[in-house]
Chain A
Amino acid sequence: MLRIACPYCGRRAQAEFVFERALDAILPLDATPAAAVEHLFARDNPKGWSWELWRHTAGCGAWLRLHRHTVTHQIAAVETLGAPRQDAGG
């Protein structure tokens, strides 16, 4: 069970959070049908650093951006959605 540092609540257990999707899997409402199919069914799934959308559902309810390594589960950054994006190392 990972420990995730919510910017509002501090370090909390993964059990309080829900993984939503990778950031690049967010499908905008005005996407074209072709883009929709690409996003939904033809996405890459690389090992390594990934920016992801999570929600602190059983905590403060905030939507968060996490920079997580999909193999080691290291979390390099946890940001609120509105914050300027930092790029952590790989």
Chain B
Amino acid sequence: MTGSRRPVGGLIDRSKMLAFTFDGARYEGHPGDTLASALLANGVSLLGRSFKYHRPRGLLAAGVEEPSALVGVGVGGRFEPNTRATDLFLYDGLTAHSQNRWPSLALDVGAVLGAFGRFIPAGFYYKAFLGKPDLWKIYEHFIRHAAGLGRPPRESDPDAYDHRAAFCDVLVVGAGPAGLAAALSASSTGARVMLVEQDDRLGGGLLRETARLDEATPDRWIARTTRTVAARGVRILTRATAVGYWDDDLVTVAQRLTEPGQSPAGDAPAQRLWRVRAEQVVLATGAIERPLPFEHNDRPGVMLAQAVRGYVGRFGVLPGARTVIATSHDDAYRTAFAVADTGGQVAAILDSRPACDRPIVRDAMARFPVWFEAQVLRAEGGAQGLRRVTARAGGKTLSFDCDLLAVSGGFSPVAHLHMQAGGALDWDPISGAFRAGQARQHQSSTGSAAGLDDLGEVIRHGWAAGANAAAALTSGAPAGSPPEVSERYPGPSHAVAALAAPDGVDPKRVFVDFQNDVTLADVDLAWREGYRSVEHLKRYTTLGMATDQGKTSNMAGLARLAANEGRSIPEVGLTTFRPPYTPVTLGVLAGHAKGFHVAPLRRPALYATHAAGNPLWQPVGYWMRPRAYPRAGENLHAAALREARTVRTALGWVDVSTLGKFEVAGPDAAALLERVCATTVAKLAVGRGRYTYMLREDGMVMDDGTVWRVGADRYLLTSSTGGADRMAHHLDYVRRVLAPQLKAAVANVQEHWAGVAVAGPGARSLIAALAPELDIPRHMSADRSVIGGVDVLILAASYSGERAFEIYVRNPEAAAVWALVAEAGVGLGGCAYGLEALEILRIEKGHVVVGGEIDGRTTPYDLGLHRMMNPARGFVGAAALQRPALQAQAGRQQLVGLESAQPIPEGSMLVRQAPGAAEGHVTAGGVRVIGEGFVALGLLRDGHARLGEPLTAWSPTRGRSAGVRVVQPLFYDPQGERYRD
């Protein structure tokens, strides 16, 4: 095949040149070219090597269905492998490489595999490599290298990607003749219409035809129609593929704002994913041409007939000098005319049907040799191109010298989105094609997607489809009428199914799935081995599983299976079409959610203040909280220990703003709280608070916190940071679903109140200095005051084990109050502390924490909290807690303390002797803040009865262990002396 650019013709911009490289060689093309058309114009015909056998491959098609010409395009993080050269529009500086070949496309060592073809048919790996398992280490290296087509980029993708929602009355997918007609009629009613087209211009099949619409040439009519619908407010997207049809008429559209490998301008995103919710969807998605089955049907130089016409008409490129056309319908005759009219030779037309007498056939017979009941048997050629075609016609075997074979076995309507939307398929036995049948959602198919092949009929049907879609929504009738079509050869194409291979061909040489190198012999092999359902055929042979999802191969495989089975194709059925319709780059699916933004970051009010102190950060759910504030030369542990010691000996302050906080108000506020919390609440006097915990419905401890009576009928509930959203939901559920009769309201004040906890022997002095008028609340009392002119709520609670106060201040005023605390605190010898120090301090006090000891499997009995339980038992979880399994104390994992002279690894198993069966685990490993030695909390089977027992904390994965002794889970100030003034 030697392609050439014609001196005139095509929709390319011949006044401009674009430079590009392919496999290191420099070429030029024009705006409007695809990489495929530009390479063809430059006489390049070898574009790739097939997946398994490394056979030389060129172009089969002109559109997204291209199975063989896959290239890697772009550089660095923008590199996109497995890109179809036919679906890549030329831009200046485009850099592309062929794939799956070494050292070069022309001289590929992998081609040697072709000689071993008979040893590596479909499924060979299920039967090979049996024997010594150790040899897998050798096999695997080579298999990994041979597997796959393109290589992924190693650098991060530098581009931004965008997500957008859109809503419309009518979504028209495809802007070919049917789609444009549908958009015209639908938009004329005033409906909200959206039109999406995967190509870089509107027109679809019209771009390669010479018909007239309302007397205008196709490109004039397309331009006029575009202006008309745009003026009506139709949202038109090009380079936008509808890739998935989901629930309730949600269609995802992947829009390329740049071509693969191209740098976006400025801050623009590279691609955009639209989530379009439509009332009605008109699928004008076209039809894909089918190749023919014959020996070596995958050779460079064998192309689809309509694609050849497309290269001539749209790109001004003639893919070969001497063409043979093999067809089973009338449309391919148009390709013969197009080739001849641009100066190419047509050596023969091989029509598989019996002789017929129609104008298009008669005119062709007057110009070219035409054979009927003719079938191609074999193509001969190789990496250099096509040389000869052998066919059988009229009982004789004929040979034709040619460099281009334009084949067409009819068309498969693109029913992918229709099927994704749950639609059924109808079978047309004459043309041997499935098309959209019964719809499940609000979709309808039109044009060639509905099996039509006469341009006039397509236009009228598209118009009606758009009108019907809009009629369901608006009261306006469509204005105007479909354009009048006049063409040289109107009428249907009289297609006849041509899926069966001719008699006598060698099935090992007839390719069905080009991309996965699946032959007819593989389909037969699967059937012989018992894989007779279409689902098994697909998985055993990998037919239809490549990146082209079987667009040009599914039907041929089905036909062979049906023939082997002696059943009809619709009886055999089709595998399910799944999104995406064409490959989608991962970045556009991620959108904004990449890198740091995988999840949104929640910043506490004091974020900037903390950042100024250069802390080590700790993600807690979506929040970022300071873990420690290391000083020069300190690592995390040293910093945390210093901070904890400062708290115990002087004072420290920590940001507790992220805690869950709820104000519960009303005459039944306490009653509501006693249904959520497992402790009593109603007994609290105004101005007093207590520790509390909440159960899940199955009796397990879910969260813990504190509750304060801040008014006669008003309480403040605090709970963990990580469980705050869950607690908000839970409170609302109890309030409005379980106990709607209660006169109580819950307000989520988590972000209304920021909080600073001040703890240590010096804490009282600090509060006194900041709020001189205040009668300092004793431990577990609350009061309101003013600090620096700002209203605050002061709760005398302690998590650290020292005398402590939580200062709650309105979010916007948090930084000011923190600054006052820090200034006064430094003067008292204190410092800020973070989560790591907080952890060390709470371990010494045996305070349980959500995610550690509260892990969803522990009950109040297990954690030693049962004495605080409300005897009234009206709370969530009370009923399930009565289960015998939870009441029986024996055998349960119970909270214990552990002490050792060595560091106790967190998460390690508790065993009698290493190695041994785990009887529990270490939930939190810490250190004695004052003094020597290490402490930890853990859960141990029957722990409450095993005080004093020696065990080993064992972590074989980290190679660590420590001898520990089981003790009470309380290592510091057991009498609570530190809380007294």
Tell me whether A and B are bound partners: yes
In the complex, number of A-B residue pairs with CB atoms less than 8 Å apart:
61
Q: Which of B865-916 contact A (CB under 8 A)?
A: 874-876, 879-880, 882-883
Answer whether residue B598 sits at the interface, using C-beta atoms and an 8 A cutoff.
no
Q: A33-B879, A33-B882, A36-B880 are in contact. Are A55 and B250 (CB under 8 A)?
A: no
Chain B residues positioned under 8 Å from A63 (CB to CB): 732-733, 736-737
User: Judging by beta carbons under 8 Å apart, are A40 and B736 in contact?
Assistant: no
Q: Which residues of B contact A29 (CB under 8 A)?
A: 675, 738-739, 874-876
On whether the beta carbons of B247 and A40 are closer than 8 Å, the reply is no
Report chain B residues within 8 Å CB of A61: 732
Among B165, B277, B879, the one with the most A-chain Cβ atoms within 10 Å of its Cβ is: B879
- Tell which of A3, A18, A55 touches B277, judged by Cβ atoms closer than 8 Å: A3
Q: Flag whether B751 is at the interface (Cβ < 8 A).
A: no
State the CA gap A18–B730 with chains docked (Å).
12
Q: In the bound complex, what is the Cα–Cα distance between A35 and B878 (angstroms)?
A: 12
Q: Please determine whether B698 and A55 come into contact, CB atoms closer than 8 angstroms.
A: no
Cβ of A9 < 8 Å from any Cβ of B?
no
A37 to B249: give the CA distance in the assembly, Å: 40
B13 at the interface (CB under 8 A from A): no
A1 at interface, CB cutoff 8 A: yes
Q: How far is the CB of A58 from chain B (nearest CB, A)?
A: 11
Q: Interface centre among A29, A40, A63, by most B CB within 10 Å?
A: A29
Residues of chain A at interface, number, CB under 8 A: 26
The residue that A37 contacts in the complex, of B277, B733, B883, with Cβ under 8 A, is B883
Contact of A36 among B248, B250, B697, B739 (CB under 8 A): B697
Are A33 and B883 touching (Cβ within 8 A)?
Answer: yes
Q: Is A57 an interface residue (CB 8 A)?
A: yes
| Interface pair B733/A3, CB less than 8 Å apart | no
A28 located at the interface, meaning its Cβ lies under 8 Å from any Cβ of chain B in the complex: yes
CA distance A26 to B739 in the complex (A): 12
Contacts of A20 in B (CB 8 A): 733, 737
Q: Mark A31-43, 1 if CB is under 8 A from B, else 0.
A: 1110111001000
Given the interface pairs A18-B729, A27-B697, A37-B880, the reply to whether A53 lies near B737 with Cβ below 8 Å is yes
- A39 and chain B: residue at smallest CB distance: B697
B53 close to A (CB within 8 Å): no
A44 CA to B372 CA, complexed, in Å: 65
Query: Given known contacts A18-B729, A27-B697, is B879 in contact with A3 (CB within 8 Å)?
Result: no
Contacts of B738 in A (CB 8 A): 26, 28-29
- Closest A residue, CB atoms, query B738: A29
CB proximity of A57 to chain B, nearest CB, Å: 7
- Contact between chains at A32 and B729 (CB < 8 Å): no
CB atoms of A55 and B732 under 8 A apart: yes
B22 at the interface (CB under 8 A from A): no
Specify the chain A residue showing the minimal Cβ separation from B734.
Answer: A29
Interface assignment of A73: CB less than 8 Å from any CB of chain B: yes
The reply on A2 being an interface residue by CB < 8 A is yes
Q: Does A60 contact B (CB under 8 A)?
A: no
| Residues A1 and B250 in contact in the complex (CB < 8 Å), given A26-B737, A55-B732, A81-B737 | yes
B246 close to A (CB within 8 Å): yes
Q: Which residue of B lies closest to A63 (CB)?
A: B736
Q: A57 contacts which chain B residues (CB < 8 A)?
A: 729
Q: Would A27 and B879 count as touching, CB distance under 8 A? A: yes
Q: How far is the CB of A13 from chain B (nearest CB, A)?
A: 8
Chain B 535-565 interface 0/1 with A at a Cβ cutoff of 8 Å (1 = within): 0000000000000000000000000000000
Q: Give, as a whole number of angstroms, the nearest-CB distance from A82 to chain B.
A: 8
**Do B880 and A40 have beta carbons less than 8 Å apart?**
yes
Distance in angstroms from B545 CB to nearest chain A CB is: 27
Name the CB-closest residue of A to B249: A3
CA distance A30 to B55 in the complex (A): 74
A30 CA to B874 CA in the complex, in Å?
7
- 9 tightest Cβ-Cβ pairs between the two chains A and B: A36-B879, A3-B248, A33-B882, A36-B880, A31-B879, A33-B879, A2-B247, A29-B738, A40-B698
Q: List 17 A-B contacts (CB under 8 A).
A: A1-B250, A2-B248, A13-B165, A13-B277, A20-B737, A26-B737, A27-B879, A29-B874, A29-B875, A36-B880, A36-B882, A36-B883, A53-B737, A61-B732, A73-B247, A81-B737, A81-B740
5 further A-B pairs in the complex, CB-CB below 8 A; given A20-B733, A31-B879, A63-B736: A13-B165, A13-B277, A55-B729, A55-B732, A81-B736
